[in-house]
Amino acid sequence: MLLLRNCTAVQFEPCRVEQDIDIVIEGEKIVDTGSNLAGRYPQAEIKDMRHRLVMPGLVCAHNHFYSGLSRGILAPIAPCPDFISTLKNLWWRLDRVLDEESLYYSGLICSLEAIKHGCTAVIDHHASPNLIKGSLATLHRGFVEAGLRGMTCFETTDRNGGLKELEAGVEENIAFAQLVKNNTRGGLVRAHLGAHAPFTLPDAGLDMLKEAQRQTGCGLHIHVAEDRYDVSHSHHHYGLDPIKRLDKFGLLDEKTVIAHALWLQPDEISLLNQRGACLAHNARSNMNNNVGYNAHLPDYTLAALGTDGIGADMFEELKFAWFKHRDAGGPLWPDSFLRMLYNGNVILERNFEAKFGRLEANYTADLTICDYVSPTPLLSDNLAGHLAFGMNSSSVNSVMVAGKMVYENRTFPFDVEPLYTSARKAAGELWKRMAALD
């Protein structure tokens, strides 16, 4: 049993800031919170938080750990005047040359850096068309070794190998779902059913995913309408809006995560809301790819924040999401984006059969602990403003996942420098393989 003493306890939904709070943890769960609890739990190990901010763990709702070795990439990249050329010239070349070593280090380093930036969980979306079988188990290894909670899936597509590639992608999703099924209680990682985007998924692929959904009970994780091309392709080839096409195959439910969705029609958004699906909004990625702005954010019942592979700094992502919305003349205020940050916990609750996102008894002990000294009062009413205009990931002191400190006093419990050395070597070899594709 562990007692975190003298916390400044922070919750996002509803916003709450409380001083001098003790948090008692046993196993993976919070068992009690309140003031002066040491006398009630004399057997507990005590860690004095010295009034650090203790908050429910931050969740990244959409990421691509396979891109972790692309930072500062030196492989030759042809000009990319639009989004589709960016996919073809950069990302679809990188994912084709991933091997087991580069994928392992990419996933492990991304997991470590997510933790260092305050994340306790990441919802990942994977692609490696020449390394399909076993790829999710390799990513799983990185999650577990780092101590990060999360989900992952393989992005089913036919863009490289037609029907055989579709089948292999679906089989990998099913195999991974079966692998983690035995870890329903206590395991850190769960499975989604991955799909790239409707424009690289023929009806045969959607049929396969529906059958996989029936077999596994897992939800769909897919990019939709990131670019206008996805919409026009769906209209031209299928005579349907992309969300309606997915719904035609029965693929939308409360476990569904739809990434981006910039160019949906209002009735498609209403349909997503009816099905209980979650939008993963990726503000920085949308800006980087110049695909436009999601002006319909206020219309979603459930929206969460992701990064689409641009790290896992959710403090930074919240700021960009807020400032871009403000720049676009949107009506929301920072509290709406703080709620989106909280909503990553809703995804976890729908997949982990546990409670997340609050500092209360029976909730999972996934915690982000920060040093944050403010020149102004930190109150329940202005918490969102502190997140939008002040606090950042440099304040992260410690991170707890499932009741275990995986990062404490800005230090991991093992030496990470050799891992970074190996990752740099793997990245160099990866870039050489990309260059050799030309």
SS3 at position 54: strand
The reported pLDDT for the residue numbered 177 is 97
Note the pLDDT of residue 355.
Answer: 98
More reliable by pLDDT, 438 or 238: 238
pLDDT more than 90, % of the chain: 94
Tell whether the model's pLDDT for residue 186 goes beyond 80.
no
Q: How confident is the model at residue 92 (pLDDT cuts 50, 70, 90)?
A: confident
Residue with tokens 């930190």: 378
Give the pLDDT score at 76. Answer: 87
pLDDT confidence bin for 208, thresholds 50/70/90: very high
> Averaged over 283-302, what is the pLDDT?
97
- In the chain, the domains with their CATH numbers are 2-57+357-407 (2.30.40.10), 64-352 (3.20.20.140)
Q: With cut-offs at 50, 70 and 90, classify the pLDDT of residue 105.
A: very high
pLDDT band at residue 184 under the 50/70/90 scheme: low
What value does the mean pLDDT take over residues 46-65? 98
Taking 80 as the threshold, does the pLDDT of residue 253 lie above it? yes
Query: Distance between CA atoms of 381 and 334, rounded to whole angstroms?
Result: 11
91 falls in which pLDDT band (50, 70, 90)? confident
Whole-angstrom CA distances from 385 to 7, 58, 297, 302, 319 are 20, 17, 19, 21, 10
Share of the chain above pLDDT 70, in %: 99
What's the mean pLDDT in 333-343? 98
Q: What tens digit of pLDDT does each residue of 277-287 get?
A: 999 999 999 99
pLDDT for residue 185 is more than 90: no
With contact defined as beta carbons under 8 Å apart, do 236 and 262 qualify? no
Give the C-alpha distances (Å, rounded to integers) separating 15 from 154, 158, 379, 395. 35, 44, 9, 19
pLDDT at 110 over 60: yes
